[in-house]
Amino acid sequence: MMRSMFSAVSGLSSHQAKMDVIGNNIANVNTVGYKAGRVTFQEVFSQTIKGASAAQGGRGGTNPHQIGLGISVASIDTIHTRGSVERTDVPTDVMINGDGFFMVSNDPNFLNRSYTRAGNFYVDAAGNLNTAEGYRVLGYRVDESTYGENPIFKSNLEGLVINRAASVPAQSTAKVDFEGILNSETKLFPDTSGHGVVGGADSVYLAVGDKFELNPAYADTVARENTFEVYDALGGVHKIKQCFVKIADNKFQVETFYMANDGKMYHATNGGTEVDSDTEPFEVDFVDGKSTTTAKLNITIADTMTNGAGPLSFNISYDKLTSFANDSKVSTTSDGYKQGTLDGFSIGPDGTIEGIFSNGLKSPLGRIALANFKNPAGLLKTQANMFVNTANSGTPMIGQPGESGFATLNPGALEMSNVDLSKEFTTMITTQRGFQANSRVITTTDQMLEELVNLKR
């Protein structure tokens, strides 16, 4: 008779453990990145009163007679399904769109690692990207000396840094590319004896003092005037003006002027002056509306014009230009820029932390790394939404978001708890009823014992 009491006691203990897990789930219903727990039960042991027997003679077989001796907790599982998305638009908030974990560490050598789904990070005074508990977020940093167009990522995992004092040095312009349309219906310039495109009394561009001005009489021979900027080695800005004058069908002559800060203008010639052109005049030819000019115009600005930055030489290509009967629209792209400091940053779906600098340049600062496990349910919870690997979780597989099967990131969002309140409340009711029923077994058994004791009266 005592078996029923001890079975009920084990039932009380097991249901209490289950209620503890349910209570923790409900308490963490709004915890970022929290993974719900689940309890399953198992029968502990059964006492065999009578064994089974096989059929023999004229009698059939008999089944075993067994009495169970209670239950115990079979497992307390961590459910690693993805939680719902909360949009925050905070630049340092990141969510994983699938399996995987962020790697964090409080070790100066980044060898003692923990894993978390909570992406509510922040940047401290030193520029470190941290968790709310101060753990460093791990990834691959970019060598600060390579910030710019050709960043070099380091190969070792370390704490990511978003340094507000970071800067990129100036880069001198090496090439300029023209693209767009020159109007094929531009009026022809009468290139006859006594006429010139630049400098003369009957030219398209007249020398007026220290400047060159467009001659109104030939304004309709200019398909387009375009001004762009180039940069010397110290980041100094230099303005260049190029004009496209139609001198024959499907042929435009390019004239280059340097526009100094003091208002002076210099005509680029191949005479070894302050602004030198290796080809003068330079012409762009078109066939069927497409440029056939593959040669590049090389311009050199003398060191007397660059305030100590040395001479600046760059080439200009026109092979992307077209010429059709349409309004002229021309633009340029170049590879130079002035020195810039970090103004802001953003985190991309591939985990790249892209710095935005004051000179308009964008350069990666680092890239968040992810870890995955063969058995995530085998991870051990520690504190503050973090896990550590165990013998049954396997060793972490490390990769980068969006590559080699790793999930992408959702910047500006957080993964909320995956606790289902409706399910938890339903489970809480059944757990309470199970606990209540087991307590009734104890009460009833006690009453039966009382009756047994009263037999002697």
CATH number of the domain encompassing residue 189:
2.60.98.20
Question: Could you tell me how far CA 198 lies from the centroid of its own chain?
Answer: 52
**Torsions phi, psi for 429 (to 5 deg):** -65, -50
Please tell me the distance from the alpha carbon of residue 342 to that of residue 344, in angstroms, as a whole number: 6
**Distance of alpha carbon 121 from alpha carbon 135, whole angstroms:** 9
Residue 307 burial (CB count, 10 A) = 10
* pLDDT at residue number 311: 94
User: What are the two backbone dihedrals, phi and then psi, of residue 125, each rounded to the nearest 5 degrees?
Assistant: -65, -25
Residue at 79 is within a domain = no
Domain of residue 202 covers: 175-334
Q: How many residues does the chain have?
A: 457
Enter the DSSP assignment of 4. H
Residues 194 and 242 in one domain: yes
Q: Enumerate residues 6+ apart whose C-beta is below 8 A from 244.
A: 182, 222, 223, 224, 225, 226, 252, 253, 254, 284, 328, 330
Which of 315, 334, 353 corresponds to the end of one domain? Answer: 334
Closest listed residue to residue 129, CA positions, set 140, 141, 137: 137
3-class DSSP state of 456: helix
The residue from 300, 334, 368 where one domain ends is 334
């990129």: which residue's tokens? 168
Give the pLDDT confidence score for residue 1 in this predicted structure.
58
Q: How many domains does the chain have?
A: 3
Q: Token pair for residue 398?
A: 């490390």
Asked if residue 185 and residue 303 are part of one domain, the reply reads yes
Out of 290, 314, 334, a domain closes at: 334
State the Cα–Cα distance between residues 109 and 148, nearest whole angstrom: 28
What is the three-class DSSP state of 455?
A: helix
Question: Rounded to whole angstroms, how far apart are CA atoms 339 and 169?
Answer: 5
Residue 426 lies in a domain: yes
What number of other Cβ atoms are within 10 A of residue 370's Cβ? 27
Tell me what pLDDT residue 192 has.
Answer: 55
Phi-psi region of 412 (alpha: psi -120 to 50; beta: other; left: phi over 0): left
Inside any domain, residue 307: yes
Is residue 151 located within the same domain as residue 292? no
CA gap 64, 230 in Å, rounded: 94
What does the alpha-carbon distance between residue 317 and residue 284 come to, in Å, rounded to a whole number?
Answer: 10
Note whether 188 and 299 are same-domain residues: yes
Amino acid at 71: I
Taking phi over 0 as left and psi of -120 to 50 as alpha, with beta for the rest, 98 belongs to left
78 within some domain:
no
Alpha carbon of residue 394 to chain centroid = 27
Check whether residue 348 and residue 327 sit in a common domain. no
Query: Is residue 57 in a domain?
Result: no
- Same domain (yes/no): 24, 123: no
pLDDT tens string for the chain (457 positions)?
Answer: 578 888 889 999 999 999 999 999 999 999 999 999 999 999 988 888 888 989 888 898 989 988 888 899 999 999 999 999 999 999 999 999 999 999 999 999 999 999 999 999 999 999 999 999 999 999 999 998 888 778 899 999 999 999 988 888 899 999 999 999 999 999 998 865 446 788 878 889 999 889 999 999 899 999 999 999 999 999 999 999 999 999 999 999 999 999 998 889 999 988 878 899 998 889 999 999 999 999 999 999 999 899 999 999 999 999 999 999 999 999 999 988 999 999 999 999 999 999 999 988 899 999 999 999 999 999 999 999 999 999 999 999 999 999 988 999 999 999 999 999 999 999 999 999 999 999 998 898 888 888 888 887 6
Domain identity same for 370 and 445 = no
Close Cβ partners of 441 (under 8 Å, ≥ 6 residues apart): 4, 5, 7, 8, 11
Tell me the residue type at 416: M
Cα gap 204→206, rounded to integer Å: 6
Model pLDDT, residue 205: 92
* pTM, 2 dp: 0.79
Structural contact between residues 326 and 183, judged by C-beta atoms closer than 8 angstroms:
yes
The 3-class secondary structure across 43-93, one letter per residue, is ECCEEEEECCECCECCECCECCEEEECCEEEEEEEECCCCCCEEECCCCCE
Distance in angstroms (rounded) separating the CA atoms of residues 230 and 394:
55
Same domain, yes or no: 126 and 112: yes
Q: How far apart are CA 440 and CA 41, in angstroms?
A: 20
Number of other residues whose CB lies within 10 A of the CB of residue 427: 18
Q: Please, which residues have CB within 8 angstroms of residue 304's CB and are 6 or more apart in sequence?
A: 274
**Are both 194 and 299 inside the same structural domain?**
yes
- On whether both 323 and 402 belong to a single domain, the answer is no
Q: How many Å apart are CA 47 and CA 53, to the nearest integer?
A: 17
Residue 97 lies in a domain: yes
DSSP type of residue 116: E
Give the integer Cα–Cα distance in Å for 426 and 352.
43
- Both 182 and 303 in a single domain? yes
Neighbouring C-alpha atoms within 13 Å toward the C-beta of 57: 3
- Distance between the two ends of the chain, CA-based, in angstroms? 20
Residues 296 and 249 in one domain: yes
The first and second tokens of residue 71, run together, are 């239950």
pLDDT at 195: 61
In a domain, 52, yes or no: no
pLDDT at site 427: 95
Give the type of residue at 314: F
Whether 58 maps to a domain, the answer reads no
